[in-house]
């Protein structure tokens, strides 16, 4: 019987315009009546969790920053975090400083982008709804990237938006050469870097253990490469119809797209089966 629902946000639970489909909200209300917790499992930091979700009684936890951070939402309290050593972050940026990229830090409950690289947010090839969200949840740091790194207490994720394939390939090669780091992606033009062992699958497993819930009693939904570990870890991994091919290949089942409230429709059907 399902006790925990884990879902990616962008491209999965949220529609393409970043709103929550009505059928998904109805499902959450019904899940609450059954005592089922809904857990946003996202690359976003805590400040990026939609306010409509944080207000619900059955949305008490979130797996953020691609699994590097688990938070208790009502208190805004971090209960689990896997950080990247700041010296490592400095060394990594030194490798990429000449490239036309952002070097965003997910740190201290926020997302920071250095002022000197803020303009790349307007140049990257993404839809305007995504661009608006990206800029809305970021804090423009009034200094250099190295100064920004030093100013942060703890850094659990690095996000890089790149403008060309040459930059992407160079970054991929460097990250793949470092056994202490892993990479994933949620946009065609981004690279998400966390410490090895910090992914959505490990975040899901940690929270299940913390709440004393069997992993077999969990369902997870996703659409991108950073969701693959979560879909493989869950009792039931479900890809939305708009998911990338590699994400669909990792899933146990498929559902409708994010714009068709695939998460809500799949769960309501599953709840109906459980009642019968």
* CATH number of the domain enclosing 215: 3.40.50.1000
Q: Which parts of 144-225 fold into alpha helices (H)?
A: 145-151, 165-176, 200-210
Q: Please check whether residues 25 and 9 belong to one and the same domain.
A: yes
Query: What pLDDT was estimated at residue 241?
Result: 98
The reported pLDDT for the residue numbered 260 is 98
The verdict on 94 and 191 lying in the same domain is yes
- Alpha-carbon distance of 64 to 9, in angstroms, equals 10
**Predicted local distance difference test score (pLDDT) of residue 82:** 96
Q: Specify the CATH number for the domain of residue 161.
A: 3.30.1240.10
For residues 112 and 169, state if they share a domain: yes
Residue that is last in its domain, among 195, 226, 248: 195
Domain termination site, one of 195, 230, 247 = 195
Residue 17: what pLDDT? 93
The pLDDT value recorded for residue 187 is 87
Q: Domain count of the chain?
A: 2
In sequence order, which residues have a C-beta less than 8 Å from that of residue 270 and are 6 or more positions away? 2, 219
Q: Considering 195, 213, 246, which residue would you say is the last residue of a domain?
A: 195
Residue 175 and residue 94 share a domain: yes
Q: What pLDDT was estimated at residue 73? A: 93
Q: Are residues 62 and 137 in the same domain?
A: no
**pLDDT at 231 (0 to 100):** 98
What would the two tokens of residue 161 be? 């938006």
pLDDT at 75: 86
Predicted confidence at residue 225, as pLDDT, reads 92
Look up the domain containing 21 and give its range.
4-81+199-275
**What pLDDT is recorded for position 47?**
87
Average pLDDT of each block of 10 consecutive residues along the chain (276 residues)?
A: 96 96 97 97 92 93 96 92 96 97 95 97 92 94 97 96 96 96 92 95 98 98 96 98 97 98 98 88
pLDDT of residue 186: 87
* Predicted structure pTM score: 0.88
Tell me the C-alpha distance between 112 and 159, whole Å: 10
């Amino acid at each position: 019987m399902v006790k925990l629902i884990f879902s990616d946000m962008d491209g999965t639970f949220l529609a393409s315009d970043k709103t929550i489909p009505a059928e998904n909200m109805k499902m959450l209300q019904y899940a609450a009546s059954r005592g089922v917790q809904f857990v946003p499992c996202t690359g976003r930091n805590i400040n990026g969790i939609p306010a409509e979700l944080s207000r619900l009684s059955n949305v008490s936890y979130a797996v953020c920053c691609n699994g590097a951070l688990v938070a208790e939402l009502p208190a805004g309290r971090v209960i689990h975090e896997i950080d990247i050593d700041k010296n490592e972050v400095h060394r990594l940026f030194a490798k990429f400083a000449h490239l036309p990229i952002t070097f965003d830090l997910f740190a201290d409950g926020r997302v920071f982008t250095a002022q000197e690289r803020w303009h790349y947010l307007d140049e990257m090839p993404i839809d305007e709804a995504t661009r608006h969200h990206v800029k809305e949840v970021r804090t423009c740091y009034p200094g250099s990237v190295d100064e920004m790194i030093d100013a942060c207490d703890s850094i659990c994720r690095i996000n890089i938006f790149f403008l060309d394939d040459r930059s992407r390939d160079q970054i991929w090669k460097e990250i793949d050469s470092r056994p202490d780091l892993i990479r994933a992606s949620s946009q065609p033009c981004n690279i998400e870097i966390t410490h090895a062992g910090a992914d959505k699958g490990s975040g899901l497993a940690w929270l299940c253990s913390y709440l004393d819930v069997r992993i077999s009693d969990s369902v997870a939904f996703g659409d991108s490469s950073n969701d693959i570990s979560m879909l493989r870890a869950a009792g039931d991994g479900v890809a939305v119809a708009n998911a990338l091919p590699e994400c669909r290949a990792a899933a146990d089942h498929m559902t409708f797209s994010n714009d068709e409230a695939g998460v809500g429709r799949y769960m309501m059907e599953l709840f109906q089966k459980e009642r019968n």
